[in-house]
Structure 1
Amino acid sequence: MKVLNHHRDLELYGMGRSAAVFKLKNENRVIKIFYSPFEETAKEEKQNYEKLNGNDYYPVIYEAGKNYLVMDFIEGKTFFECLAEGIPLEPYYMEEVDRGLQYAEKAGLNPSDIHLHNLILTKKGNVHIIDVARFSQEKKCTQWNDLKWAYTRYYQHAYFPKKIPRWVMYTVSKLYRLYRYIYN
């Protein structure tokens, strides 16, 4: 998908598989607009955020429609950006993600699709989890446990680089998806 044009009060903030996200100028909110084949995903994500009920690990939803959500803007860097820029990911951040995911499980959700682009570290050192549309899947997702394994096995060692080129992370991601496809 490609955004050809948008209102001047919106700033394109990011694009994913199912939606584009725009920051509302002069507000601490974003609007996530789902591409036309993903209206059901918008509905699921809204329901999942409602179950999370404004928990500190997740953004609050203010408004929702057939193909959009208006929610908190979480200012910070994704874990992916942290790795690309050499900002160290402390063990405490992993524990915080675990706590946020445990909260989701207690709310009756099944955390899925947890990856480096969906985890945000704020300037104050708080961790937030975004993009919870797939938290209502029934299939068991091991992605977060696999990331934690790699973090413990490699990243925490003194000799492992704390700044990782984007192309390396994208390559590892593609290989991981291929591996999961073949062995699942």
Structure 2
Amino acid sequence: MQPTPHNLVDQVIIQSNQLIQKPSQYTLIGKGRSAFVFLDEGNGCAIKIFFEEFEHLAKQEGDIYKRLKGCPYFPNVYEVGPNYLVMDYIEGMTFYQCLQKGIPITDEMVEKVEEALSFARQQGLNPSDIHLQNLLYTKDGTVKVIDVVRFTQDKVCHQWDDLREAHQRIYQRKYFIFKRIPKPLIDTVAFLYKKIIIPFRSLRLSK
């Protein structure tokens, strides 16, 4: 892996969280609440560039990835800049895309996420903000967890617990026939969950 040239990162222009300009060898592959993610076609790495108001998160997330080094369920980070990270590019699909495409989310995939989060806790971290968009099912048939910047927050987050219970007690049931789920339906369920209108928490608490 060759370090990304700093002049390439400097060529990325972001204004009001909108991408204005990028070098030709950068392919945009994702946008989140705090950053754009590019594939550097020159070295095959992913480049995560944070928006101006979130630039401080680059070091924060980089430090978290360093604590997770050695666990196969998290990407390797090769460089931490003032506003960017250089890390493994992971080929695959998010769990969100798996639902859309009808690719089964298996018990084994869920167990691998559990192993990843358990490892993070052993490093003194607090896995938080785990959702379908930051869980990846790779071409090699394994699982990767990305976007770990909130793993140092103090607040207890039950989001993964609720997803796991929904998987076990709804998705895996024979009566659940919607293995291929349209994007609008997934987004609606996510919205209602955040508003605590859909009581997935009651599934977990009713054990």
Normalising by structure 2, we get a TM-score of 0.84
The amino acid across from 2:174 in the alignment is A
The amino acid across from 1:173 in the alignment is A
Give 1 or 2 for the bigger CA radius of gyration.
Answer: 2
Return 5+ residue gaps in structure 2 as ranges: 1-16, 202-207
Note the alpha carbon deviations across 1:8-35, whole angstroms, 9 max, x for none: 0100000000000000104331000000
The amino acid across from 2:86 in the alignment is V
Return 5+ residue gaps in structure 1 as ranges: none
Matched with 1:178 is 195
Report the Cα offset of residue 42 of structure 1. 1.6
Note the alpha carbon deviations across 1:39-92, whole angstroms, 9 max, x for none: 222221011001001421000110111110000011100000000100011111
| 1:20 alignment partner, SS class | strand
| 2:154 alignment partner, SS class | coil
Matched with 2:185 is 168
In structure 1, C-alpha distance between the alignment counterparts of 2:92 and 2:42, rounded to whole Å: 17
Q: State the number of aligned residues.
A: 181
In structure 2, C-alpha distance between the alignment counterparts of 1:82 and 1:28, rounded to whole Å: 24
Q: Does 1 or 2 have the higher relative contact order (CA < 8 Å, sep 6+)?
A: 1
In structure 2, C-alpha distance between the alignment counterparts of 1:62 and 1:154, rounded to whole Å: 39
| 1:12 alignment partner, SS class | strand
Note the alpha carbon deviations across 1:91-124, whole angstroms, 9 max, x for none: 1100000000000000111000100000000122
Matched with 1:42 is 58
Q: How large is the Cα RMSD of the aligned pairs?
A: 1.4
1:150 partnered with 2:162: no
Normalising by structure 1, we get a TM-score of 0.94
1:130 partnered with 2:146: yes
Q: Which runs of 4+ in 1 moved over 3 A?
A: none
| 2:67 alignment partner, SS class | helix
Which of the numbers 98, 117, 138 marks the counterpart of 2:114? 98
